[in-house]
């Protein structure tokens, strides 16, 4: 509208220390870790074969912060995050391992959601070059250390939700 330069970043499935693990609606890694600390089974909607690419915060935030130094990035859109997708079943096992427990999973009815969601990062590589990525196991290990130090959190519920159509029953 005003002719200003911009950069749009679309980070996906970002996790790591200092994340709100009490948010029961977003951040499956935090949800799983909080459930384990509360001695609850990890809950997966559907059969757990849906895939996501989980992105460690230290791989995402620095890129966004440094981007202003790259004029070739102005007026572009970037998907930011991990290249390697995994199933939610694999994630649950990896989270349990990071916290040193046997995985316990409860499968809930499937939600109406995208089954496989991960992104291309060609634009990031074209402008910023190859960047190291933290493996899922290493990122989970780091987050688990932080979570153990800070403990479980009480899950909150959304209040005064404007749209209730197709809301998963567990959210209501």
CATH of the domain at 78: 3.40.50.720
pTM comes to 0.84
Residue 147 forms part of a structural domain: yes
In terms of residue numbers, what domain contains 151?
A: 7-171
Give the pLDDT confidence score for residue 154 in this predicted structure: 59
Residue 150 forms part of a structural domain: yes
Q: Which two tokens stand for residue 52?
A: 């996501």
Give the count of domains, the chain. 1
Element containing residue 146 per DSSP (H, E): helix 136-150
Residue 16 forms part of a structural domain: yes
Of 13-22, 37-46, 146-155, the range with the lowest mean pLDDT is: 146-155
Residues 148 and 99: their CA atoms lie apart, in Å, by 8
Residue 78 forms part of a structural domain: yes
> Each residue of 71-127: pLDDT tens digit?
999 999 999 999 999 999 999 999 999 999 999 999 999 988 888 988 899 999 999
> Each residue of 30-67: pLDDT tens digit?
999 999 999 999 999 999 999 999 999 999 999 999 99
Residue 2 forms part of a structural domain: no
Distance of CA 133 to the CA centre of its chain: 15
Residue 1 forms part of a structural domain: no
């Amino acid at each position: 509208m005003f002719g200003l330069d911009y950069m749009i970043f679309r980070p996906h499935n970002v996790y790591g220390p200092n994340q709100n693990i009490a948010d029961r609606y977003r951040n499956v890694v935090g949800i799983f870790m909080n459930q384990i600390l509360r001695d609850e089974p990890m809950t997966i909607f559907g059969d757990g074969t849906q895939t996501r690419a989980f992105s460690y915060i230290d791989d995402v935030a620095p890129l966004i912060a440094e981007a202003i130094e790259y004029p070739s990035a102005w007026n572009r859109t970037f998907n930011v995050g991990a290249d390697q997708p995994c199933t939610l079943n694999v994630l649950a096992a990896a989270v349990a391992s990071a916290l040193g427990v046997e995985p316990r999973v409860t499968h809930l009815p499937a939600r109406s959601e995208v089954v496989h969601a991960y992104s291309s990062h060609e634009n990031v590589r074209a402008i910023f070059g190859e960047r190291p990525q933290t493996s899922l196991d290493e990122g989970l290990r780091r987050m688990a250390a932080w979570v153990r130090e800070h403990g479980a959190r009480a899950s909150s519920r959304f209040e005064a939700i404007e749209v209730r159509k197709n809301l998963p029953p567990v959210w209501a």
